[in-house]
Amino acid sequence: MGWEAWFTVAVVVACFVVLAWNRVAPDVTMAGGLTLLLVGGILSPREALAGLANEGMATVAVLYIVVAGVRETGGLDWIAHRLLGRPQSERHAQFRLMALVAGISAFLNNTPVVALFVPAVQDWAKRHRLSVARLMIPLSYASIAGGTCTLIGTSTNLVLNGLLISETGASQISMFELAWVGIPVVLLVILYFLLAGKYLLPDRLPAITRYADVREYTVEMVVEPGSPIDAVSIKDAGLRQLPGLYLIELERDGEIRPAVPPTELLQGNDRLVFAGVVESVMDLQKIKGLKPATGQIDKLGTPRHRACLTEAVVSNTCPLVGKSIRAGRFRNQYNAAVIAVARNGRRLRDKIGDIVLRPGDTLLLETRPSFAEQQRDSRDFYLVSRLQNSTPPRRDRAWIATLILGAMVITAAAGWLSMLEAAMLAAGMMLLSRCTTGRLARRAVDWQVLVVIAASFGIGTALQNTGAANAIAESMIGLSQGNPSTALALMFMATALLSSIITNNVAAVLMFPIAVATSTSFGVDLLPFVVTIMIAASTSFATPISYQTNLMVYGVGGYRFSDYLRAGIPLTLLVGVITLLIVPRIWPL
C-alpha cells in the first residue's frame, strides 16, 4: 500500500477511537475525518461531497418527512397499539418487536421500516415504561437480519445477484433461496437478545422516569361517546401505563370515584382527572377518544390540528389573579383554553374552571401558534413557552396518510419506482394533502444522521480508491493456504470487517472479484462464496456507521459507540458460525 492508503487507514482508525471515546458528536467526528482526507489530497471535492447526493442518504432524508405525515395524523398509534400490542415483560417486548420487524424487512427495504418504527417504538416504550435503549438496537439488528431472508430484502442481495449473473451467465438466485441461511440468522438474532440482551444493552431510561420532583399538572379529560376507548378498561385504553401520570378520580353521572381499579370499563362522557408531568399530559391529548373537559377548546376559532400547547407562568400583575379560571373568562381574555394547572408540586382537587389563579401558577394552554409571540413580553405572565411536538393529531387525515404510505411500499416493492422515487412522491403527497406541514417536515429530518451517512460514503470511497480495502481483503484471503472452507471463513471475516467501516454495498462489490478469483483458483462453485458475501455484508452489527439503520437508532437510544461493539461483535461472530455451517451444505463447494 502507498502512503495514501496508510493515511486513509490512520484517519479511519482515528475516527473509530474518537467515536468510542464518546466525547465528540458522531457527525463532527465523521465530518472531521472527511475533511482530513479532502485536505490531504486523498479525495477530490466531488468525491468528498458525493455522499450528499447519494441515493441512500437522500432516501433516508425523505423518509423522515413521510414518517412525519404518518405521525402527525396519529397513524403511529395504530402501529404501537395494534401491531406491537401490550408486552408482559421486557423480553416479551423485544420478541414481539424483533419478530414483527424481521418479518416485514424480508419483503421491504429495511430503511423505511426502521424509519417508521422508531417513533412508534418510542411511544410504545413510554406507555409501557420500557427502556428505549433496550429496544432500538434490537429493532435495527432485526431489520438487518430480516433482509437476508429474501432476494429483495436488501439492496446488497440484488447488487450481488446482478454481478453473479453478469459473471457466470447463470440464472438468478430465486426469491426465497437465501431463506436457508436467512431464517436461522433471524432466529439467532432474536434468541441472542432474549438471552443476553439484559447484559449487552444499556438500561438508559428517559429523564421522565428518573425524576420525581418535576412540576405536576392537574388535568381533566372526557371520554367521547362511541370512541375507540368507550367500553374499554382503563388498563387496555393505555391510561395506566403513561410514566409520571396518575389517575386521581373518575366522575360518572355526578358520582366521584377516587380509587378506580384498572379493570374499570370506561363509558362515554366519563370525566377523568389526572395528575402528572407535562410530557404525559401531552400524550393524553393524542389518545383517540379523549378530549379536554374544559369545554373551551371548540370555542377558540382555530382547528385543533393547527393548535399547540403552551406553558405560561402567571405573574403577580395578571388581572385574573384571585379569580377562578371560569369567572375570569380566561378564554375570552387571551383566546386560549386552560388544559391543566401546576402549583408548587401540589395536586389541585378543584375542576379546572373552579381553580382560583395565584402568582406562580403554571398553566398548560391550548393556543394558536402565534400565542407565544404575542404574550412573550406581556406583564400578565412571567414566562411563555411553546411546547414542541404538541399539535394534536389530525385524525381525519389518518386514512390519507395510510394510503400514501401503502402506495409507497407497494410501488417500491413491485419495482415500479425506485425507493427514492417512491419516497419523494410520498413525501410530496403528505405535504399536498396537509398530513404534515412544511415547518414540521423540516424539523422532522435528523440532520446529524444524514451528515454521518454522507461522510461515511466519502471515507469509504477513500478506502476503495487508495487500495486499502482491497489490500485488507486480499491479505486475509491469502491466509487460506489452499483450503476452500478456510477461504470461505476468511471471506466472511473480510467482508464483515469492511462492512463495519464502509457501506455494505461497497464492501460487497469490493469482495466479489476476490470471490471470483478464489473460486476459480480452487476450481469450485462461485455461488457459496457469493451467498457468504451477501450474509456477511448485510449483517453489519459491529459499529453504528456500518449500516444506516444503526445510525437511525443511535441518537434515539442514547447509545455510545461501545454499545455497538459490545452487542455487535459477538453477534457477528455467531452469524459467521451459522453461515459457515449452513452454506457449504446447501451450496456445496
* Per-residue model confidence as pLDDT tens digits over 566-576: 999 999 999 99
Q: What percent of the chain has pLDDT over 70?
A: 89
pLDDT tens column, 175-209: 788 899 999 999 999 999 999 988 999 876 544 44
Amino acid at 556: V
Q: What is residue 273's predicted lDDT score, i.e. its pLDDT?
A: 84
Whether the predicted pLDDT of 441 surpasses 70: yes
Residues 6+ apart with CB under 8 A from 514: 470, 473, 474, 477, 491, 494
User: How does residue 418 score in pLDDT terms, banded at 50, 70 and 90?
Assistant: confident
- What is the number of other CB atoms lying within 10 angstroms of the CB of residue 379? 11
Query: Over 80: is that where the pLDDT of 121 sits?
Result: yes
Question: Which tops the pLDDT comparison, 134 or 303?
Answer: 134
CB-based contacts of 115: which residues, under 8 Å, 6+ apart?
Answer: 60, 63, 64, 66, 67, 552
Distance CA 583, CA 529 (A): 9
User: What's the CA gap between 508 and 530, in Å, rounded?
Assistant: 9
Question: What's the pLDDT at 84?
Answer: 81
> What amino acid occupies position 523?
G
Q: What does the pLDDT read at residue 392?
A: 67
DSSP state of 233: B
Could you count the other beta carbons within 10 Å of the beta carbon of residue 160? 25
Q: Residue 210 pLDDT more than 60?
A: no
Q: Which residue has the higher pLDDT, 18 or 358?
A: 358
Ordered by where they begin, the domains of the chain are 3-26+54-204+448-586 (no CATH), 217-276+289-386 (3.30.70.1450)
Mean pLDDT of 385-394: 74
* Average pLDDT over the chain, rounded to an integer: 82
Spell out the alpha helix ranges (H) of 50-171: 55-72, 75-78, 90-105, 110-127, 136-146, 155-168
59-63, 356-360, 375-379, 469-473: range with lowest mean pLDDT? 469-473
What's the pLDDT tens digit per position in 20-63? 676 787 788 889 999 999 999 999 999 888 888 877 678 778 88
Output the pTM of the full model: 0.69
How many CB atoms within 10 Å of residue 25?
15
User: Do 269 and 296 meet the contact criterion of CB atoms below 8 Å apart?
Assistant: no
Gap between the Cα atoms of 528 and 181, Å rounded: 11
Helix 155-168 crosses helix 504-522 at what angle (to 10 degrees)? 30
pLDDT value, residue 302: 61
Average pLDDT score over residue span 314-331: 89
The DSSP string of 305-365 is GG-EEEEEEEPTT-TTTTSBTTTTTHHHHHS-EEEEEEBTTBPP-S-GGGPBP-TT-EEEE
370-377: long-range contacts at Cβ-Cβ below 8 A with a sequence spacing of 24 or more?
371/310, 371/334, 371/335, 371/336, 372/310, 375/312, 375/334
Question: Which pLDDT belongs to residue 212?
Answer: 45
More confident site: 452 or 543: 543
Comparing 164-168, 440-444, 495-499, the range with the smallest average pLDDT is: 164-168
Grid-cell match 405573574, residue found: 315
List the single range of 121-130, 140-149, 285-294, 502-511 with lowest mean pLDDT.
502-511
Greater model confidence, 200 or 499: 200
Q: What angle do CA 383, 389, 395 make, to 5 degrees?
A: 130
- pLDDT exceeds 90 at position 97: yes
Cell numbers 429496544: residue: 135
Range among 135-149, 216-230, 377-391 rated most confident: 135-149
Assign 431 a pLDDT band (cuts: 50, 70, 90): very high
Are the C-beta atoms of residues 163 and 544 closer than 8 Å to each other? no
> Measuring CA to CA, which residue among 133, 296, 96 is closest to residue 210?
133
Assign 390 a pLDDT band (cuts: 50, 70, 90): low
**In this structure, are residues 254 and 288 in contact, taking their beta carbons and an 8 Å threshold?**
no
Query: What's the mean pLDDT in 289-314?
Result: 73
With CA atoms as reference, report the closest residue to 257 among 245, 247, 243. 247
Interatomic CA distance for residues 138 and 198, integer angstroms? 12
In this prediction, residue 304 carries a pLDDT of 64
Residues 6+ apart with CB under 8 A from 259: none
Phi, psi of 92 (to 5 degrees): -65, -40
Q: Is the model's pLDDT at 289 over the cut of 60?
A: yes
Reported as a single tens digit per residue, the pLDDT across 517-533 is 778 777 788 889 989 99
Is 576 in contact with 553 (CB distance < 8 Å)? no
- Which one, of 380, 214, 391, lies nearest residue 313 by Cα? 380
Mean pLDDT of 348-364: 84
Which residues are CB-neighbours of 317 under 8 A, at least 6 positions away?
Answer: 379, 380
What percent of the chain clears pLDDT 90, i.e. is strictly above it? Answer: 18
| Cα 309 from Cα 391, distance rounded (Å) | 7
Mean pLDDT of 149-170: 75
392: number of Cβ within 10 Å: 21
